[in-house]
Chains A and B, each alone.
Chain A
Amino acid sequence: MGFLSDLVSWFGEPGRWAGDDGILPRALEHLWLAALPMLIAVTVALPIAVWLGHRRIGGLAANAAANIGRAIPSFGLIILAAIFFARAGVSLRFWPAAVALLALAIPPIYTNAYTAIVTVPRETVEAAKGMGFTDNEVLWGVEVPIGAPLIFAGIRISFIQVLATVPLAAVLSSGGGLGQYVVRGFAQGPGGRVEVFAGALLIAVLTLGADWLLSRGERWVLPEGRRPRSSEEIRAAASIS
């Protein structure tokens, strides 16, 4: 039959949604595989970046982190991680991807948070000090709120990148969240094109949905008057800086 009707019947197959190989468990695996490295990256990289930014040291490291982060192919990183886990006899389904994703997650978070704090105008900081703000008050009352949009942009960019890289982990094992459909479909050649397309559709929906949710989340987190005018602005800030 036609491609479209094949696609529709793919989504309607028994066990397609809730079964072991179903869309829901795979989507959950996809999100969990992205969320865990993100949580660790934020907990570790954010305080360091903010503190170094506050002290205004380590600018070169922030720059280098951004460049190296972009240059390392995420695909290769996942597979390199797999080599080491395979030697250690650990299952390849979760940990190689999680570790590689952690390494990918850190640079945007670190660079953006550092830049956010460092680019707070000097005069503003001096003015706060002149008004009797303590060092801590300058950090939490001036630098962090002013830098918040860029800090959040880093987290958002990082999460989207991590979410986009999860599917590549499907090359290693039966994991990789929704990426499994795509990789498996490609392996089947022309016969797998429905599965490839369906998997890609699901990945796109999940990623765009997560991006949208984060853009909503920004409104809750960011102080009033520091909210970006559009989601593109945030994306651009991170893609250019």
Chain B
Amino acid sequence: MILAQAASSLFDWDWVGRNIDSIWRRTVEHLALTGVALVAGIVIASALAAVAIRKPRTYPTITAATGLLYTIPALAVFALVAPLVGIGTVTQRFITAEIALISYTLLILIRNIVTGVNGVPAGVREAAAGMGYSEGERIRQIELPLALPAVMAGIRIATVTVIGLVTVTSLLGLGGLGFFILDGLRRSIIFPTEIIVGVVLSVALAAALDIGLLGIGRVLTPWAREGDR
């Protein structure tokens, strides 16, 4: 009894029990914001990477531009996009947040895709051509699978980065686990339990997705398991 009281001053488990529905909803929101940014980021990065691979002269420009987006702080990107898109409706706020989140994934993803594809040995490429693979077949069946470990590494870094950034989107009133962080702070008396729940779940989500993606990468590239770190 005394123990329980002492503990409750630091972390109020009852609050967690009472708010389990809302915790679940915020977690799903967090995952949705992350997922949309990643899928869109992968699509855009793949297109830009394809350009960079076909026309290597464009690569420095592409990395410089995406590097610029990567360097500008998240809060600043939210703020720069917000007045242009508007933050009146939920849809506008969602688009604002996603633009900022996507802009963060691009450099990491493009770098890893290009590095992965360019890392395919020339001999392998020539062998495929010699065996009668068309260019499309070669890219799909030879180069992309061989580039997959590097691509997956990029996706993992991008995922973990975005999950951390999504906590900031609560400033736009978009929910996610950052809602708890902000709400706990803005009560008349700071409420640590809520903040800790937000932070811990966000870290746990990042770790879970990181491990999950690591697992998917291993399953997809059984030949790379030897010697893979």
Contact = CB atoms under 8 A, between A and B. Distances in A.
Interface of A: 3, 67, 70-77, 79-80, 82-83, 86, 160, 163-165, 167-168, 171-172, 179, 182-183, 185-186, 190, 193-194, 196-197, 199-201, 203-204, 207-208, 211, 230-232, 235-236, 239-240
Q: Mostly helix, strand, loop or mixed at chain B's interface?
A: helix
Interface stretch (B19-27, B38-46, B130-138, B199-207): B199-207
B203 A165 contact: no
A199 B82 CA distance: 12
Interface in B59-101: 60, 63-64, 67-68, 70-80, 82-83, 87-88
Contacts of A235: 67, 70-71, 107
Given A67-B160, A76-B202, A172-B185, A236 B76 contact: no
Contacts of A182: 75-76, 79
B164 A179 contact: no
Given A83-B195, A171-B185, A204-B80, A163 B73 contact: yes
Contacts of B199: 72-73, 76-77, 79-80
A82 B182 CA distance: 12
Contacts of B79: 182, 185-186, 196-197, 199-200, 203
A229 to B, nearest CB: 10
A160 to B, nearest CB: 6
17 contacts: A70-B164, A71-B163, A73-B164, A76-B178, A80-B196, A83-B192, A165-B73, A186-B82, A190-B87, A197-B79, A201-B76, A201-B80, A231-B67, A235-B67, A235-B107, A239-B157, A240-B111
Interface stretch (B117-125, B141-149, B165-173): B165-173
Contacts of A231: 67
Contacts of B157: 70, 239-240
Q: How large is the interface on B (under 10, 10 to 19, 20 to 34, 35 or more residues)?
A: 35 or more
Interface of B: 60, 63-64, 67-68, 70-80, 82-83, 87-88, 107-108, 111-112, 115, 153-154, 157, 160-161, 163-165, 167-168, 171-172, 178, 181-182, 184-185, 190, 192, 195-196, 198-199, 202-203, 206-207, 210
Nearest to B180: A76
A200 B75 contact: yes
A71 B160 contact: yes
A127 to B, nearest CB: 26
